């Protein structure tokens, strides 16, 4: 009997890999959203659609991003590599105090949607990239990652029997969605107006007097207003998620699609976004699996407390698609039996402010280690200073109106912060220098030191040295044109040595690109376009073969 089940499992996995009945996989990605979902215990939230996802699937309540800010965490999500190890840890690479640059991952590292493309998946995203080795907007990253970058329901462009993988980004919950009044720059004002255009057709039913103010924020009108705006934007997002689910259903694809909901990091409120506290890195993670693909016993309305890192998402999706995890990925499939004992996160430059902190978290304890003596938690980041709550807190600090707990974030960050998350979920009482916790502290310090030694390939470089390494003399390198060989109507394409590891694509019309994997047969009177791109570099010139 045992051998029979093993055989059946093998056949099931092989069926997923080699047939056209592999599942579709869709990630719905919120910007700046902590797990504020009613079905997950938040009684203020109005989230009927997300509640239904919770009831239909499995929720992972201990899911954490690798950073408290979007581009860094998205780079880790897409590659399965911690952002430090690929030089993507500064927010942002393309708009910092150094000469603008992009991260250039090692030559063998590929974004997992590109791997899915190689195995026959149609891949798409909408409107937002922001991977540090790309710009923010469509058309600014490697052309080999996505078949489509600007369609909301990109699956509608795939071939009829082709499985798809997509990431739909919903920006309504972004920090800027709480901005009101005058902004401190023309650019920020434009962002505010864009956000307002996504909100205008929706109601805002959550009133400021109904929200709960955490102890590290002052209970003021401004703070309550911003928290209420965050909840109302989540209410809007919930309706947008419903529209996506309805579109899948109307296209008769819902029963064939694994749906995953998550966020790129925590809320956009002060002391949430950008921080390594749970308020900054704990995110919702919900997965709904149709019965026909449920090889992992994911039951409706269940919850798991296993520790999950954003680094685990890429291996998990490859696992679902029946594809082996590449050797370089740091995470592991959270559908496997092996569980993480710890997760890790990092904070580096934020806008124009430098700082270096690292964190390790177990189920009960978190250690945050500061490598930048003298920096404060609440750095004066121009973008965040547009929040009315932030302005109010600055004023209260100046007038000595914040209480002891609320002042902590404005103080210099100590070298070590140790928190008991079970008894202190808001991470207020630092136990690092108290008696009785030295054994826990030593354990977490050891784990953090080991992790740093494995992932610090770029971490010791100054950003100036890093940008010079990636873009010598401040110039973005250009990928070399590949070499081609035609023998008996068989076309072979290879990278030149200086562009080793670049992704190669080919097209029959110059618009729709395929990933080159093996020699191509050339048909009479057929046009072929060829180009290559190394992540973080410019594309090569196009090679044209034809009449």
Sheet architecture: strand order including 285-288: 122-125, 164-170, 24-30, 257-263, 285-288, 58-60, 302-304
Domains of the chain (ranges plus CATH)?
2-334 (3.40.720.10), 357-473 (3.30.1120), 477-545 (2.60.40.10)
User: In the structure encoding, which two tokens stand for residue 282, read together?
Assistant: 């704990």
Contact 220, 392 (CB under 8 A): yes
412: DSSP letter: B
513: DSSP letter: E
Report CA Rg, the chain. 24
pLDDT score for 20? 57
Q: Residue 297 — very low, low, confident or very high, per pLDDT cuts 50/70/90?
A: confident
User: In the structure encoding, which two tokens stand for residue 447, read together?
Assistant: 């784990």
pLDDT score for 242? 98
Q: Is the pLDDT of residue 442 over 80?
A: yes
161: Cα separation from own chain's centroid: 29
Residues 6+ apart with CB under 8 A from 221: 208
pLDDT in tens, 478-531: 999 999 999 999 999 999 999 999 999 999 999 999 999 999 999 988 999 999
Please, what is the Cα angle at 426 between 425 and 430, to 5 degrees? 95
Contact 547, 523 (CB under 8 A): no
478: DSSP letter: B
Residues 6+ apart with CB under 8 A from 435: none
pLDDT score for 1? 39
Q: Residue 220 — very low, low, confident or very high, per pLDDT cuts 50/70/90?
A: very high
How far from 225 is each of 77, 204, 273, 292, CA to CA, in Å? 32, 12, 17, 45
- Show the beta-strand stretches assigned E in 53-163: 58-60, 63-64, 122-125
Burial 33-58 (b: 16+ CB within 10 A, else e): bbbbbbbbebeebbbebbbbbbebbb
User: In the structure encoding, which two tokens stand for residue 401, read together?
Assistant: 């109106």
Q: Residue 166 — very low, low, confident or very high, per pLDDT cuts 50/70/90?
A: very high
How far apart, in whole angstroms, are the C-alpha atoms of residue 283 and residue 289? 20
pLDDT score for 127? 87
- Count helices and strands (H / E) in the chain: 12, 21
How far apart, in whole angstroms, are the C-alpha atoms of residue 385 and residue 406? 17
How far apart, in whole angstroms, are the C-alpha atoms of residue 473 and residue 287? 45
3-state secondary structure of 520: strand
Rounded to the nearest integer, the mean pLDDT of the chain is 94
Q: Which of 10-14, 217-221, 250-254 has the lowest mean pLDDT?
A: 10-14
Residue 249, CB-side half-sphere exposure with 13 Å CA sphere: 6
How far apart, in whole angstroms, are the C-alpha atoms of residue 170 and residue 239? 11
Selected catalytic residue, list 16, 54, 67, 70: 70
**Region 242-259: what's the mean pLDDT?**
98
Residue 144, CB-side half-sphere exposure with 13 Å CA sphere: 29
3-state secondary structure of 360: strand
3-state secondary structure of 125: strand
Phi/psi region, residue 436 (left: phi>0; alpha: psi -120 to 50; beta: rest), is left
**Region 224-243: what's the mean pLDDT?**
98
pLDDT in tens, 348-358: 999 999 999 99
**Region 358-366: what's the mean pLDDT?**
99
3-state secondary structure of 5: helix
How far from 163 is each of 17, 142, 524, CA to CA, in Å? 11, 21, 31
Continuous segment of H or E residues that includes residue 313: helix 313-320
Q: Is the pLDDT of residue 2 over 60?
A: no
**Region 122-130: what's the mean pLDDT?**
95
- Show the beta-strand stretches assigned E in 266-356: 282-283, 285-288, 302-304, 308-309, 343-347
Q: Residue 11 — very low, low, confident or very high, per pLDDT cuts 50/70/90?
A: very low
Q: Is the pLDDT of residue 52 over 60?
A: yes
Known catalytic residue at 70: yes
Cis check for the bond before 92: say yes or no (omega within 30 of 0): yes
Q: Is the pLDDT of residue 99 over 50?
A: yes
Q: Is the pLDDT of residue 332 over 60?
A: yes
Residues 6+ apart with CB under 8 A from 230: 36, 173, 177, 178, 267, 268, 269
**Region 353-370: what's the mean pLDDT?**
98
pLDDT in tens, 378-390: 999 999 999 999 9
pLDDT in tens, 61-73: 999 999 999 999 9
Continuous segment of H or E residues that includes residue 495: none
């Amino acid at each position: 009997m045992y051998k029979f089940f093993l055989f059946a499992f093998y056949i099931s996995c092989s069926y997923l890999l080699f047939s056209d009945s592999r599942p579709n996989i869709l990630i719905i990605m919120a910007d700046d959203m902590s797990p504020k979902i009613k079905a997950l215990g938040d009684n203020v939230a109005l989230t009927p659609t997300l509640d239904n996802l919770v009831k239909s699937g499995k929720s992972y309540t201990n899911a954490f991003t690798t950073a408290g800010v979007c581009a860094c965490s998205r780079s880790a999500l897409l590659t399965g590599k911690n952002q430090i190890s690929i030089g993507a840890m500064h927010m942002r690479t393309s708009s910092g105090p150094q000469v603008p640059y992009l991260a250039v991952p090692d030559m063998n590292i590929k974004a997992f949607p590109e791997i899915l493309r190689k195995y026959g998946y149609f891949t798409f995203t909408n409107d937002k990239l922001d991977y540090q080795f790309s710009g923010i907007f469509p058309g600014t990253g490697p052309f080999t990652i996505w078949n489509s970058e600007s369609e909301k329901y990109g699956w509608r462009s795939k071939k009829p029997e082709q499985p798809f993988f997509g990431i739909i980004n919903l920006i309504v919950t972004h920090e800027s969605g709480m901005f009101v009044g005058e902004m401190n720059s023309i650019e920020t004002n434009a962002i505010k107006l864009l956000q307002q255009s996504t909100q205008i057709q929706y109601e805002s039913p959550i009133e400021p007097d109904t929200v709960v103010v955490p102890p590290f924020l002052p209970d003021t009108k401004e703070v309550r207003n911003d928290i209420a705006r965050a909840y109302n934007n989540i209410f809007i997002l919930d309706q947008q998620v419903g529209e996506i689910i309805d579109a899948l259903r109307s296209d008769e694809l819902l029963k064939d699609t694994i749906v995953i909901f998550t966020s790129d990091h925590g809320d956009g409120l002060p002391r949430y976004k950008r921080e390594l506290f749970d308020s900054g890195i704990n995110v919702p993670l919900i997965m709904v699996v149709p019965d026909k693909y449920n090889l992992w016993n994911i039951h409706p309305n269940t919850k798991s407390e296993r520790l999950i890192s954003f680094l685990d998402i890429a291996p998990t999706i490859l696992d679902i698609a029946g594809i082996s995890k590449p050797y370089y990925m740091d995470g592991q499939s959270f559908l496997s039996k092996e569980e993480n004992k710890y997760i890790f996160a990092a904070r580096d430059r934020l806008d124009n402010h430098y700082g270096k902190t690292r964190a390790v978290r177990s189920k009960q304890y978190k250690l945050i280690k500061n490598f930048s003596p003298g920096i404060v938690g609440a750095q004066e980041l121009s973008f965040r200073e547009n929040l009315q709550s932030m302005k109010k807190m600055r004023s209260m600090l100046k007038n000595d109106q914040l209480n002891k707990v609320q002042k902590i974030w404005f103080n210099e960050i100590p070298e070590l912060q140790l928190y008991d998350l079970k008894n202190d979920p808001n991470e207020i009482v630092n136990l690092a220098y108290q008696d009785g916790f030295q054994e826990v502290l030593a354990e977490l310090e050891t784990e953090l030191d080991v992790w740093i030694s494995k992932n610090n390939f770029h971490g010791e470089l100054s950003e100036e040295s890093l940008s010079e390494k990636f873009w010598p003399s401040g110039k973005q390198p250009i990928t070399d044109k590949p070499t081609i060989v035609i023998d008996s109507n068989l076309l072979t394409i290879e990278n030149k040595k200086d562009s080793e590891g670049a992704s190669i694509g080919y097209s029959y019309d110059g618009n729709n690109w395929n990933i080159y994997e093996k020699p191509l047969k050339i048909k009479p009177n057929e046009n072929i376009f060829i180009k290559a791109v190394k992540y973080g570099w410019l594309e090569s010139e196009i090679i044209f073969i034809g009449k």
